[in-house]
Structure 1
Amino acid sequence: MTGETDRLPPLRTCSRRLAITFAAFREMHARRWCAYAHVHTGDGAAAEEIVTAVLGQLGRQWPHVLRRPSADAYAWSSLKGHLAAWLAVRGRDSALVTAAFGCVTRLPRECRQRFELLENRMALYAAITRLPERQCDALVLSHVIGYSVGQVASLLGTDESLVRSHIGHAKRKLGSGPPVGHPVSGS
């Protein structure tokens, strides 16, 4: 028994490693999660509050989270739960449709077709909200938020081929139309 404990790193080292892994996880996801929550709440401050609450909970449970089959999928499920609870308490549905307004503010002023584009995007975003949940999430995470297919697969706790399938099915259901959106820039 003593031989086994001699090989274990000191507790301080474990705590430091846990803190470093959580900081890296937070750095990788916080900005995009805020964008995702903002798309669904329509409120930047609320999105930040939701993400802060989720990350706080995950930070307190980090050793437990790392023992899950997929830390990303567990964390994503927690974010989705907090977001659903926030919407339910307020009796609201996803604000994905109104997210199209944010796209117009990023267009050049001289663009004469921006209101037509806005109208098309609003119709597209409304259609996206009617997709099955996994297709909606795969499409929004990859095409609006900017995650790679591999990152989406990790978040959803599935493999890349299934994510590509969800995205393909979603695009076929939506038919041809304006582009889904521009991913959030960053890592």
Structure 2
Amino acid sequence: MREAYFASGRTLSDLGTRVPLAKSKLSELLRGIGLYPRWEIVCSLSVLLDMPYAPLYRLWRQAAIEAHKSRDWIDRSTENTALTTTYPAPPLEHRALCELVENDYLLYAQAFLPDDDQRDSAVSDTFDILWLSWNDGLGSPDIRRFAWKALRATVMSRTPHIDGRPSLSQAAFDTITLKSLTDEADRIDQMAETLELFRAMSWLPAAQLDVMVLRVLWSLPTERVAGLLGVPPAMVRSHERHAIHFLESVLCPPETEGTPL
């Protein structure tokens, strides 16, 4: 909404004459500080800034729940706003992209958010964010890369972190290798190795981590990963090589020669 405000050329004084909110409070809202805004305020601004209604409302409602607003507060915040059950459809290209990547986005989100509701919500919110910023995405070098950045930011904002690193431990239980093992002893041994691997993976740079999650955890082909990230296949292979080199140095360090005194 702040970006739409800057692009509109409007001033706070102009908005203040059309929105029932003091100019200082409008400034706080557009800077993302202060109290969580009622929907009627956000809706009024969305009309003035020509923002899509449906994705903004869904994001507002989800964020209100995450901010621990009660259902009663949410309902009261919308009672003075005419809600409609028919929403304008997103751009055709947006819908096509979402249909193309949805299943793979869900797999990525599941690696960090094992709860189904959290996973589905993260992907749904990503698509709404993408709809709101669609023109920016079209103006970017690659719409697929733009969309992936939106997904990653959304998932990471909800992922538990340990010492600043995203936790992948729960994802170890979903690996294809483990699911293929039937012997219990083999499963236990593999589980220990997998947990150690994912702990080490959390140290990887963002691009290498994403490639390893998609390639190692879900065994997606290189070309498919490249399409999701919006980068050439050669870059995916490079990220994978560097990541494997780092992981091998951590998990299988070279033995030191001689015996220390």
TM-score normalized by structure 1?
Answer: 0.71
The alpha carbon displacement at 1:77 in A equals 0.6
CA–CA separation in structure 2 for the residues paired with 1:44 and 1:132: 26
Q: 1:167 aligns with which of 240, 245, 249?
A: 240
Name the aligned partner's letter for residue 113 of structure 1.
D
For the structure 1 residues 112 and 156, does the alpha-carbon distance in structure 2 shift closer, same or farther, using more than 3 Å as the test? Answer: same
Q: Does 1:119 align with 2:189?
A: no
For the structure 1 residues 128 and 88, does the alpha-carbon distance in structure 2 shift closer, same or farther, using more than 3 Å as the test? Answer: closer
Q: What is the number of residues matched between the two proteins? A: 161
CA–CA separation in structure 1 for the residues paired with 2:202 and 2:165: 10
The alpha carbon displacement at 1:113 in A equals 0.9
Q: Does 1:137 align with 2:210?
A: yes
Once superposed, what is the RMSD of the aligned Cα atoms?
Answer: 3.1
In the alignment, which residue of structure 2 is the partner of 1:181? none
Q: Given that residues 97 and 122 in structure 1 are in contact (C-alpha distance below 8 angstroms), is that contact kept between their aligned partners in structure 2?
A: yes
Name the aligned partner's letter for residue 44 of structure 1.
D
Q: Does 1:37 align with 2:109?
A: yes
Q: Which runs of 5+ in 1 are unaligned?
A: 1-14, 178-187
CA–CA separation in structure 2 for the residues paired with 1:168 and 1:73: 21
The alpha carbon displacement at 1:53 in A equals 0.5
1:23 is paired with a residue whose SS is helix
CA–CA separation in structure 2 for the residues paired with 1:109 and 1:153: 33
In the alignment, which residue of structure 2 is the partner of 1:22? 94
CA–CA separation in structure 1 for the residues paired with 2:122 and 2:114: 12
The alpha carbon displacement at 1:40 in A equals 1.1
> What does the per-residue CA deviation read over 1:75-134, in whole Å, with 9 as the maximum and x for residues that have no partner?
011111112222379x98523122112238723544541111111111111111112222
TM-score normalized by structure 2?
Answer: 0.53
CA–CA separation in structure 2 for the residues paired with 1:109 and 1:147: 23
Higher relative contact order (CA 8 A, sep 6+): 1
Identity of aligned pairs, percent? 24
Larger radius of gyration: 2
